[in-house]
A and B are shown apart, each in its own frame.
Chain A
């Protein structure tokens, strides 16, 4: 009984076109109108907070229409309002097909919001990294795996949504030409409690993505050889790694496995 009643009540809130039960009087109808209105305002409002820059970029009315559409297509299921926007950038990609920066800006906002509450960790600084790898053999380097900072995300982009973000944040002039000449990526991570991002080449984004999947440094180097060619890969992969450490993107490195250590000991004896 209660389950059926709750299902009916929920359906009345979600679908404003559903007729109210005939036994309901005008007062009950006025009450239901409050629940229906509050539901839409709350969900659309939460999306507007999460995607505040996207809202300003597209305008309040188109954003409101998209958010309302999203609310109908994907009613919230999580217990947190902060989770409800996960599928919104994908819908924006569909709704704003001729303006690819809209979905990319929304994805950037979503990642920045996720990062805000990501797990805390201390990045490995340059001196700690140098000390950790000081005695590495060639085999150790080949087997090196990296632990990225919690919440670090890599977003492929073909528009300059980063410039739009900055212009909206600093209230400066909006960029006119937002399509990038070459597809690239944004790396999003957190410095202490500050969420930051920077641009990266597609090659670097791929390398970092492999690192995030616990690929060995040798596997990353192999992938870079395919993308960059042997000569560039040899110099640039090391440079990338140095910059990741410098930027505070690396939380730790895996110690060389004991098998490798034993093998090295054997070589020395």
Chain B
């Protein structure tokens, strides 16, 4: 029996290097912080010492970008070992990654690449999630990615794929509302249908972020959350109830107070939503 991912309905931010000193020097008004796991899968030094100090003050969620759960072959066992070492050190709220693959034949693109939503992909992804959850001894969360290409051979919608993946493996979902919006715009599907098609009770965390507008929307995490994404977030909370929510900013990182002000918007929206009112 795996250790289950708990329900947690706080509001958090990503721990990013420009804000390390503030997290160490004062009490930051967040209910949890999220780390990029790979940045701390190291032997020692300041990053781990900072993480240890932050962990004493806040619950931590571990969010990975390199598991490559959609790769056609088995997961990298060295990677899983190192992830497990970090998880034992941090005792995190959640361990998450993305529904994607990052490379093949020994090449890592360091991007979250899209999958065709087929039965074969589903079998591969579920097999790999089983491997990861067994290695970690706990359930994981997997996030819906933004995508810029879709495959004609797909026979499932993304939300059908996520729902079945969660049902088969027992994994939970990390709902990235901005990614739903970006992919819906890029691939002409209904974002509300995406949300309605997810098993709401399996969603343990929500991500909010900004994207770059254009002919194809790009998930850049370099600007504030836009109005349509806030509206979609309100709808998601209506469906899922209170869920751990955080704002992701990975580029053009503003002062911490700016992100806390943006997080306050999420708190306000969640506070006025009545679950099940959709």
Contacts and interface: CB of A to CB of B under 8 A. Distances in A.
B38 A193 contact: no
Contacts of B43: 117-120, 150
A32 B108 contact: no
B21 interface: no
A75 B108 CA distance: 7
B149 interface: yes
A97 interface: no
B218 interface: yes
B38 to A, nearest CB: 5
Nearest to B251: A45
Interface in B133-185: 147-152
Interface string A141-156: 0000000001000000
Contacts of B71: 6
Contact of A79 (B45, B108, B148): B108
Given A10-B105, A76-B107, A35 B113 contact: yes
Nearest to A21: B152
B110 A81 contact: yes
Nearest to B83: A79
Nearest to A77: B106
Contacts of A30: 148, 215-216
A206 to B, nearest CB: 27
A2 B110 contact: no
Contacts of B191: none
B45 to A, nearest CB: 4
B111 interface: yes
B76 A31 contact: no
Interface in B101-121: 101-111, 113, 115-116, 118, 120-121
Contacts of A38: 111, 218
Given A31-B216, A35-B148, A2 B72 contact: yes
Given A35-B148, A150-B43, A10 B103 contact: yes
A116 B44 CA distance: 8
Given A2-B116, A3-B104, A77-B106, A31 B111 contact: no
B45 A190 contact: yes
B159 to A, nearest CB: 20
Nearest to B188: A27
Q: Secondary structure of the A side of the interface?
A: helix
A43 interface: yes
A181 interface: no
A5 B115 CA distance: 9
A28 B149 contact: yes
B124 interface: yes
A148 B102 CA distance: 37
Interface in A58-109: 75-81
A31 B149 contact: yes
Contacts of B45: 115-118, 120, 190, 193
A193 B42 CA distance: 14
Q: Residue among A2, A5, A9 with the most chain B CB within 10 A?
A: A2
B104 A7 contact: yes
Given A31-B149, A38-B111, A39-B110, A117 B47 contact: yes
B108 A76 contact: yes
A42 B111 CA distance: 9
Nearest to A9: B113
A31 B103 contact: no
Contacts of A117: 42-45, 47-48
Interface of B: 38, 41-49, 66, 68, 71-73, 76, 79, 101-111, 113, 115-116, 118, 120-121, 124, 147-152, 186, 215-216, 218
21 contacts: A1-B120, A3-B72, A6-B71, A6-B72, A10-B103, A10-B105, A10-B107, A14-B107, A27-B216, A30-B215, A30-B216, A31-B149, A34-B216, A39-B109, A42-B110, A46-B110, A116-B47, A119-B43, A120-B48, A193-B45, A193-B46
